[in-house]
Amino acid sequence: MSKRLGIGVVGAGSIGIRGALQHLCQDDVQDRCYLAAVCDPVPGRAQAAADKYGVARAYESYDELLADDQVDLVTIGSPIGVHFDQGMAAVAAGKHMHFNKTMTTTVAEANTLIDAAEAAGVKIVACPGEMLRPLNRRIRELIREGALGRLAWAVTGAAFGTYHENEGVRKGDDLLSNINPAWYWRQPGGGPMYDMTVYGLHGLTGILGPAKRVTGFSGTAMTEREFKGQMYPCDAHDNTMLVADFGDNVFAYIYGVLAGSPFAFARPSFFGTKGSITGDQINGQPIDYALRGELEGNHALPHNVGAHRDMDEGHVFEDIMQLVDLVRDGTPTVSTAEHARHVIELIEAGYKAAETGQTQVLTTTFEQI
């Protein structure tokens, strides 16, 4: 399939604007895809987004967007707790789909979605594609080559803080800059594990492979938060600390916490008998990898060229374009639904271990590409 693909943007909120709309309206992608439609349930928001970013049609209903025959694929940037239902609706409509993290909240949902998509011939790409990064691929090579000696342990995680309250798209008064972040604090799908630690988990498991078991502690430390003078209830876990077993007595500490992060966001660190890898350094020296010093961070992602390098959320745009290439040209991607499913199981099982006090055995796996 080599036609120009129509993209439907599901949600004109923070990630829909920064990760999809502002990128997909750029001239350099128009030969492969275009903004066919946008939907958002907030009255007027989808139309405001369509007017600003040159989207062909605006809908307040997701069902209306799915019924649009010009939409070939959807990028789903809605709250994580509704991803499964929206994904299944996309399968039923025959639309390929990209999920901004996280694809679902349970492994059972992920299994159902993957099986349904396969039966329908629908393609899935799931954020975040951390193994698209040259640095992570080089770290995997270094560990496999024995650069750290006998690997002992690893760590990754993120702190919630007040990041979402302070995003620029929430500080204004118009429909596109007055976006309420309250869903991030509610179940299902809220909290730092599904929203932020998921990045480091994709990198960690992409480098080490699937985890075997998980245990830990988890709970809700802040039961309410303030946004623009209004208090909102919080029931998502915001303070989680897990230990995962990767086999051969290699363990990883994983955290998604209320505040305070001792390690770089989304960058796992690794420790062995011959030293350590922290961030982009091995034993205190820069890791030599393709594009280092020339293109760093999101700039090293293959579709982040030109104007995209000056925009936010380039990694989200990259995963959308991974789906475009997969559908149009059959180009394989490392941002697979199977990898996302394993990370989802790790998070879900970690919560269950915290609730029951019993270590959970993981059942899913994925191919390391």
> Quick one: 119 and 136 in the same domain?
no
Helix (H) or strand (E) holding 38: strand 33-39
Query: Whole-prediction pTM value?
Result: 0.96
Question: Which CATH number covers residue 174?
Answer: 3.30.360.10
> Quick one: 114 and 224 in the same domain?
no
297-335 confidence digits (pLDDT tens)? 677 899 999 999 999 999 999 999 999 999 999 999 999
> Quick one: 218 and 356 in the same domain?
yes
DSSP-assigned beta bridge partners for residue 253: 155, 243
Look at the chain and report how many structural domains it folds into: 2
Domain that holds residue 243: 131-301+336-361
Do the domain assignments include residue 216? yes
Counting residues of the chain whose pLDDT is more than 70, the rounded percentage is 97
Kindly indicate the confidence band of residue 105, based on its pLDDT and cuts at 50, 70 and 90: very high
Question: Which CATH number covers residue 32?
Answer: 3.40.50.720
- What whole-number distance in Å separates Cα of residue 338 and Cα of residue 209? 12
257-293 confidence digits (pLDDT tens)? 999 998 888 899 999 999 999 999 999 999 998 766 5
For 146, the token pair is: 């024995």
pLDDT value of residue 368: 85
For 361, the token pair is: 């055995």
> Quick one: 151 and 170 in the same domain?
yes
328-367 confidence digits (pLDDT tens)? 999 999 999 999 999 999 999 999 999 999 999 999 999 9
pLDDT value of residue 138: 94
> Quick one: 33 and 179 in the same domain?
no
8 Å CB contact between 337 and 113:
yes
- What whole-number distance in Å separates Cα of residue 347 and Cα of residue 108? 13
Do the domain assignments include residue 101? yes
> Quick one: 42 and 151 in the same domain?
no
**What are the E-state strand segments in 42-134?**
57-59, 73-76, 96-99, 124-126
> Quick one: 37 and 114 in the same domain?
yes
Do the domain assignments include residue 329? no
> Quick one: 283 and 341 in the same domain?
yes
- What whole-number distance in Å separates Cα of residue 46 and Cα of residue 362? 40
CA separation, residue 104 to residues 98, 116, 285, 291, 342 (Å): 12, 14, 38, 33, 11
Do the domain assignments include residue 49? yes
Kindly indicate the confidence band of residue 60, based on its pLDDT and cuts at 50, 70 and 90: very high
> Quick one: 118 and 137 in the same domain?
no
From 336, 338, 309, 312, select the one nearest 323 (Cα to Cα): 336
User: Which of 87, 108, 126 lies at the terminal end of a domain, its last residue?
Assistant: 126
User: Which of 75, 96, 126 lies at the terminal end of a domain, its last residue?
Assistant: 126
pLDDT value of residue 100: 95
> Quick one: 106 and 135 in the same domain?
no
User: Which of 126, 154, 184 lies at the terminal end of a domain, its last residue?
Assistant: 126
> Quick one: 51 and 200 in the same domain?
no
pLDDT value of residue 264: 86
Do the domain assignments include residue 317? no
When pLDDT is averaged across residues 96-103 and rounded to a whole number, the result is 96
Do the domain assignments include residue 367? no
8 Å CB contact between 101 and 78:
no
From 13, 1, 73, 4, select the one nearest 37 (Cα to Cα): 73
> Quick one: 213 and 183 in the same domain?
yes
When pLDDT is averaged across residues 183-191 and rounded to a whole number, the result is 97
Do the domain assignments include residue 105? yes
Do the domain assignments include residue 325? no
Who contacts 111 (Cβ-Cβ below 8 Å, separation ≥6)? 341
Output the average pLDDT for the chain.
95
